[in-house]
A and B are shown apart, each in its own frame.
Chain A
């Protein structure tokens, strides 16, 4: 095991997969000469060369479209969208092409495609650069949506995504890049579509993913000081959504809080809560609570921005309410 940052974990996954398989290549804005806007691909251009680390114009539809086309021919592109906010200008290619081509043509085309992108607020980037629209993408059958919360998961899931024959949107969280965690040594992958217990407990279940795993862990530590032991389920992927560990935990605790960084309406919490009610209604001891971003375009001002984003204290309070 090595203690490394999320950025290093993602970078290692890309590097190792490119070394392993010559069909893996990277394309995106500033991935090459610049070294990646978030420095994830620093050093790649010099090592792998311009044919495998392809700088593109600022042209997201062309980036995703060309990635899809090349994947159809058997290459394994990893397309980088500088932020998930720019995915909207490539929306057609993500939801109308990537998510549908395999099914619509009777299984003839495989799309071994990864679209890496970054979301999240809290960095004073204003409303257009701070969104968490993960649930929108998770709406579409045919696409897989992965969003890791720890360096180990990021590395194992990204390596698995690159080896997969399906189109995968891999959503990173900008404020997690500096977070450190233990990562297994050597070559390893993790299965996509498996939720995991990030913390064991008995009094209430927190269901969350990505950045809010970190916040939920902090909330759990505070609650532990009062003798409240929460169990945390990290979804890790939104589609496929693995509810089994969630339901198992809920049947034990009978209380749940769902935490996400994005907006509450029509969000991940709505989906998970519905499924809890549909499959475990007899186990409900308190209404399921949701913690999410306030329903505003995220403001620039630091204080206002933090007011809009879910805080550790919000999670602590929500758990207290369901107890």
Chain B
């Protein structure tokens, strides 16, 4: 990757981190309702992954979707506005934290029922196969999703129909508060994909460059007609499952150990060590991000609430 692209990735990761930190504050101020699942710690996964897609490639993910939304190109303004339930939010304030999507940027949501979007991803890929276009569908989900039937039905169908889909497991070690070895028959999710006879691999999800390289290779092989593939990224979330998680299921030592592998810290070191950027250059990006997030929060706070008429719009495309 060129310097400009690498610094672009750094910008994205820092932007996601700051948006999430602001979201936590806004939640504590009571300005965000419902559930809030932060992506802090996992930034490298969607950043490296989505940087490897072409415009025709579709992205779909689970409910921990703010970072994915930003990497798909949704401006921070519209992400934060959606968190605040404002009319300027990407889903007009009707979706909230877990339900962001932007069809114009080939981002197909934000889905909140664990595993349920995997069959949808098979259908998105079917859309490209049927129309004979060369798009690849990138479907992200957590390790917890690999224990539900939808996962198995979707992987099976994708292989039977040879669908152009990349299954991406973000293994952050916990499904809510249940550790993977207490919930899954195998601790390496990649083994489950092998059971469906598809090419499957594992990669360090804290190293954005490794994430990107592996994703790029697999996406292009799928585009070349090799059928569905599976990629498991080992990662970790530094915050709780959602806001208000007492985190009784893990020790603070464990979190501290993982925090040494902070994907932003690792990438920062890499960029400076290899003289791709100076410390000052990265600081400048961080300051730009601070301004971008401050602007997004201001925009969201000043945006109007949805009009009352919005309650009954978009129930159906054709009325009823």
A interface residues with partner B (beta carbon < 8 Å): 25, 51, 54, 56-57, 59, 61-62, 64-75, 77, 92-93, 96-97, 101-111, 141-142, 144, 164-166, 192-193, 239-240
Contact = CB atoms under 8 A, between A and B. Distances in A.
Contacts of B124: 69-70, 72-73
B92 interface: yes
A51 B119 contact: no
Contacts of A68: 119-120, 123
Contacts of B320: 144, 166, 192-193, 239-240
Interface in B255-293: none
Shortest Cβ-Cβ A-B pairs, 5 listed? A69-B123, A65-B119, A73-B127, A106-B92, A107-B314
Chain B binding site: helix, strand, loop or mixed by DSSP?
mixed
Interface stretch (B21-29, B37-45, B108-116, B216-224): B108-116
Nearest to B153: A62
A97 B92 contact: no
A99 to B, nearest CB: 9
Contacts of B110: 105
Interface residues of B, number: 46
Contact of B94 (A65, A66, A92, A104): A104
Q: Specify which of B100, B109, B130, B154 lies most central, judged by the most chain A CB atoms within 10 Å of its CB.
A: B130
Given A57-B160, A65-B116, A104-B94, A72 B123 contact: yes
B170 to A, nearest CB: 20
B196 to A, nearest CB: 12
Nearest to A241: B320
B130 A51 contact: yes
Given A51-B130, A57-B160, A104-B95, A62 B113 contact: no
Nearest to A143: B316
B94 A106 contact: yes
A72 B316 contact: no
Contacts of A67: 123
Given A72-B124, A75-B127, A105 B153 contact: no
B317 A66 contact: no
Interface in B79-125: 89-95, 99-103, 108-111, 113, 116, 118-125
A73 B128 contact: yes
5 contacts: A59-B157, A66-B119, A67-B123, A77-B123, A192-B320
B238 interface: no
B126 interface: yes
B91 to A, nearest CB: 4
Contacts of A110: 317
Contacts of A69: 108, 119-127
Contacts, number: 146
B157 A106 contact: no
A195 to B, nearest CB: 14
A298 B156 CA distance: 34
Contacts of A103: 94, 314-315
Given A106-B90, A166-B318, A72 B108 contact: yes
A72 B102 CA distance: 12
Given A61-B149, A102-B314, A108 B91 contact: yes
Contacts of B95: 104-106
Given A65-B118, A69-B119, 6 more contacts: A68-B119, A68-B123, A69-B126, A73-B124, A92-B150, A106-B91
B252 interface: no
B79 to A, nearest CB: 14
A246 to B, nearest CB: 17
Contacts of A75: 126-127, 130-131
Contacts of B154: 62, 65-66
A77 B123 CA distance: 10
Contact of A93 (B100, B119, B315): B119
Contacts of B157: 56-57, 59, 62, 66
Contacts of B127: 69-70, 72-75
B122 A62 contact: yes
A66 B122 contact: yes
Given A66-B157, A69-B119, A70-B124, A108 B101 contact: yes
Contact of B122 (A65, A102, A142): A65
A71 to B, nearest CB: 7
B318 A164 contact: yes
B89 to A, nearest CB: 8
Contacts of B153: 57, 59, 61-62, 65
Given A102-B317, A106-B314, A192-B320, A70 B150 contact: no
A110 B123 CA distance: 14
Contacts of A193: 320
